[in-house]
Amino acid sequence: MALKERIVITGVGLTAPNGNDLQTYRHALLNNISGVVKWETRHMGEVLAGVCDFDEMKYQKRKERRRGTRAGSIAIYCGNEALKDADVILEGVDDGDPLRKEIGIYLGITEHGNVETENEVWNVGQFDNDVKFWSHHHNPRTVANNPAGELSLNTGIIGPHMTVGAACAAGNYALITAAQNLMLGDVKYALAGGISESIHTFGIFASFNSQGALAHLSEEQPDPTKASRPFDKDRSGIVCSEGGCVYVLETLSHALERGAKIYGELVGYGVNTDSTDFVLPNSERQAECMRMALEKADMTPADIDIVNAHATGTPLGDAQEAKAIHTVFGDYPNVRVNATKGFIGHCMGAAGALELAGNLPAFDDGYIHPSMNFEAFDDTCKFAGLVAGQPEKADSINTIANMSSGMLGINTVIIVKKYQ
């Protein structure tokens, strides 16, 4: 990366529909354990969703949780887990200690406020729409910076905090934003990643359903764990999920100085915009974004061991992304591709961060996790190198390219390299 500082990952905290820590999550990905279930939501009845089951009270008091949001509780859980994993201890550090202002918080989120507003509209509807029953907590619950702000309140961090709105590319984009702030010297540590509370708003299910993009079951296939089918010929759409993943990022020099363990080094990234459609990805722009990340990392496609695809399971979206992957990596037989949403569904703003986390342990264990529920390509969606069914053992894994795209045409790619 043509920048003055090298950026490394030194902590990971997460909750996914199939695991509440990296070890459990990785085990699920290597053993075809899904977190997709049937879920009841307002006005829609039974839908399919990826649902997390973490301990909201591990780092919060009940009063704080009642005042806050589900997105905030996910941010607090993941952020504290990441700090603990990185051995960055805030307990006992007073407000005047420089550490509290040396940490920045950068959290990606697809959308925020929908859940709280839907709940308040429902609530006042039970009282003849009398607005005196509207919660005075609604405004701080729904401002765009809420999840990052709740994490700062919980931890006492007084450095910068922000949420990054980049649709389903937000988790990746937050990592990029954090890395840039570290390289500018604005902070010494960054808590960065993505958060999703999406399943708690019926609107997201209703909207995808109206688009014909919501995954569904059939009499022939009634199992919810089979509903999310990235790249498969029988893919029917998106499974909406909640979840979160927060990393501790810092400069390599700082990590070495304090003797931190290093999961990997962020060596390149790309960000661009399709500018062609509200929802349909543009494969040419996606391919350009991949090449941009490779150029920043001073790498060629042949240097990449794992490409983790965005792959939402929609017929058109997956076909466009498959074309982009084939365009950039199709001539390189060593490149392996996997997709994570078959296991956990689409965690929206958390997707990129969670999916990168699922691949990071490959640097140590040498396995490429498979794409769950893939059986065969159709004529619109084909490329070489997809790992499906069972994990694939590699001689060595040194590089991961993590892809995320979102509505309004935002594309991101992050390249992470094994630190050696």
DSSP states along 205-256: HHHHHHHT-B----SS---GGGS--TT-TT---B-EE-EEEEEEEEEHHHHH
112 is catalytic: no
Q: Give the number of domains in the chain.
A: 2
Reference 386, options 311, 315, 284; nearest CA is: 311
The predicted pLDDT at position 272 comes to 98
Reference 354, options 64, 2, 24, 98; nearest CA is: 24
Structure tokens at 133: 């029953």
Residue 72 counted as domain residue: yes
pLDDT digits (tens, 9 = 90+) for 340-351: 999 999 999 999
Instruction: Give the integer Cα–Cα distance in Å for 158 and 306.
Output: 37
Give me the tens of pLDDT residue by residue for the chain, a chain 420 residues long: 444 689 999 999 999 999 999 999 999 999 999 999 999 999 999 999 999 999 999 999 999 999 999 999 999 999 999 999 999 998 878 777 889 999 999 999 998 899 999 999 999 999 999 999 999 999 999 999 999 999 999 999 999 999 999 999 999 999 999 999 999 999 999 999 999 999 999 999 999 999 999 999 888 889 999 999 999 999 999 999 999 999 999 999 999 999 999 999 999 999 999 999 999 999 999 999 999 999 999 999 999 999 999 999 999 999 999 999 999 999 999 999 999 999 999 999 999 999 999 999 999 999 999 999 999 999 999 999 999 999 999 999 999 999 999 999 999 999 999 998
Residue 275 counted as domain residue: yes
**Residue 39 and residue 17 share a domain:** yes
**Residue 61 and residue 187 share a domain:** yes
Decide which of 257, 290, 314 is a domain's last residue.
257
CATH number at residue 186: 3.40.47.10
**Residue 223 and residue 306 share a domain:** no
Residue 263 counted as domain residue: no
Decide which of 257, 282, 316 is a domain's last residue.
257
**Residue 81 and residue 181 share a domain:** yes
Among residues 52, 168, 240, 245, the one annotated as catalytic is 168
**Residue 392 and residue 286 share a domain:** yes
Decide which of 227, 257, 287 is a domain's last residue.
257
Residue 1 counted as domain residue: no
**Residue 202 and residue 135 share a domain:** yes
168 is catalytic: yes
Number of other residues whose CB lies within 10 A of the CB of residue 122: 12
**Residue 99 and residue 233 share a domain:** yes
**Residue 239 and residue 321 share a domain:** no
Residue 262 counted as domain residue: no
The predicted pLDDT at position 98 comes to 87
**Residue 190 and residue 146 share a domain:** yes
**Residue 51 and residue 199 share a domain:** yes
Phi, psi (deg, nearest 5) at residue 197:
-115, 20
**Residue 116 and residue 93 share a domain:** yes
Long-range contacts formed by 91-99: CB under 8 A, 24+ apart: 93/156, 95/156, 95/158
Among residues 161, 200, 310, 326, the one annotated as catalytic is 310
pLDDT digits (tens, 9 = 90+) for 386-416: 999 999 999 999 999 999 999 999 999 999 9
Domain that holds residue 82: 7-257
Residue 241 counted as domain residue: yes
Among residues 200, 326, 346, 369, the one annotated as catalytic is 346
346 is catalytic: yes
The predicted pLDDT at position 2 comes to 44
- Report percent pLDDT > 90 for the chain: 95
**Residue 201 and residue 73 share a domain:** yes
